[in-house]
Amino acid sequence: MWLLNSLLILFINVKLIHSKEVLMVIGGQFFNTTSRDHEITPSVEIVGFSRPCRSADLPVPLYGMAAFRIDNKVLACGGFSFVYRSECYEYNSVMRNWLPSRIRLPESNAFLASAEDNGQVFLAGGRNFVGNSSSDGRAPTDWKYFDTVWTVLNNRLQKIGTLPEAMSDMCLVISNFLGKKYLWVIGGSTSPQRYKATVYRTNLDAPTFTWEKILDMPESRMWHRCVSTTIAQEKGILVIGGYYNGGSSMWLPLVNRHGASLETFGLNLNQPKWEWMSSLAEAKKWGAAAGIINGVVTLAGGGDYGSDSIETLAVRDFRASSLKLIQKREFTAGVVVPSEWFPHCQ
């Protein structure tokens, strides 16, 4: 068993080293053991080479933002940096630096979600703190939650619909199987420290957003990450980490290994169903960076108080990589981009 595990880790690391795609790990916060404070970082690291390397820093320290790719740029929008932010910053792969973008959110907003598929980008939800902490020391209740869904069109945000309810801290993911393209909203929060198990989706080929409720997850989550992927020849959606049970992952199979839809399978027509998958090598409750690089689901950071761990999915098991981030971080963002954007890392 030891030899098998060693070979799997070696195989994973080799795939990362020879990657044509890489994961940008953007911003975040960490606990400084010297000052005993949480510190926000502007640092950006690239995972997918022989070891993580630094890219240009964000213009400001930032966490809790949404990040996504458009053509040869990566945008980071919203988030928290001493105050809640409405600005977007964009990384230009030609100039290799970050600059303020003409795109910006209508209001200050953090812990919103984003998803992209073949250049189609969606942002949704989020929250802004608009009040003061209660006098008895409990969590603040004066939060404004958003229900808007935006896309990016002609270098500006355009509202294209609303969520089933105002929420933040959820994940968005796009599935595209058997000619059916859906936008999913999974988990999240609608009030302070009250996280949800609800799952909704809307058909992106329909003329308007019409949400349908899908079977709830087995437990409630916030700050988790979602990817649409293939596992053991099944196609579906993988939910990874998050608060509270950040050491686990869940799997929603949508298409079986024979290429047949699971949505009307069974005597009771009650598929698809969520199932527990595998544990993570390290619990990632706090917003890890996630992406699929060269077909491998890859996670970075997101552990308690910020972590530097990297792990990858090997069939149905998460394996810790021997590689580590340079900077520990939580509430970070991950975007998959071509490795050629970072020739200094090779």
Cis peptide before 140 (omega within 30 of 0): no
In 3-state terms, what secondary structure has residue 193? coil
195-210 average pLDDT score: 94
pLDDT in tens, 256-287: 999 999 886 555 656 789 999 999 999 999 99
Long-range pairs for 70-77 at CB < 8 Å and ≥24 separation? 70/116, 70/119, 70/121, 70/152, 71/119, 72/341, 74/24, 74/26, 74/335, 74/337, 75/101, 75/103, 75/152, 76/26, 76/27, 76/333, 77/101, 77/103, 77/104, 77/105, 77/109, 77/112, 77/114, 77/123
CB atoms within 10 A of CB 35: 8
pLDDT band at 219 (very low <50, low <70, confident <90, very high): very high
What's the pLDDT score for residue 14? 46
Give residue for tokens 């949404």. 66
What's the pLDDT score for residue 272? 82
What's the pLDDT score for residue 2? 43
What's the pLDDT score for residue 1? 45
pLDDT in tens, 1-44: 444 444 444 444 544 445 699 999 999 999 998 888 999 999 99
Whole-prediction pTM value? 0.91
What's the pLDDT score for residue 6? 47
What's the pLDDT score for residue 265? 56
CA triplet 17, 18, 23: central angle to 5 degrees? 65
What's the pLDDT score for residue 119? 86
CATH number of 2-345: 2.120.10.80
Structural domain boundaries of the chain? 2-345
pLDDT in tens, 287-315: 999 999 999 999 999 999 999 999 999 99
What's the pLDDT score for residue 221? 97
pLDDT above 70 covers a percentage of the chain that reads 90
What's the pLDDT score for residue 131? 82
pLDDT band at 141 (very low <50, low <70, confident <90, very high): low
In 3-state terms, what secondary structure has residue 194? strand
CB atoms within 10 A of CB 238: 22
What's the pLDDT score for residue 138? 59
310-328 average pLDDT score: 97
What does the buried/exposed string (b/e) look like for 175-188 if buried means 16 or more CB atoms within 10 Å of the residue's CB?
Answer: bebeeebbbbbbbb
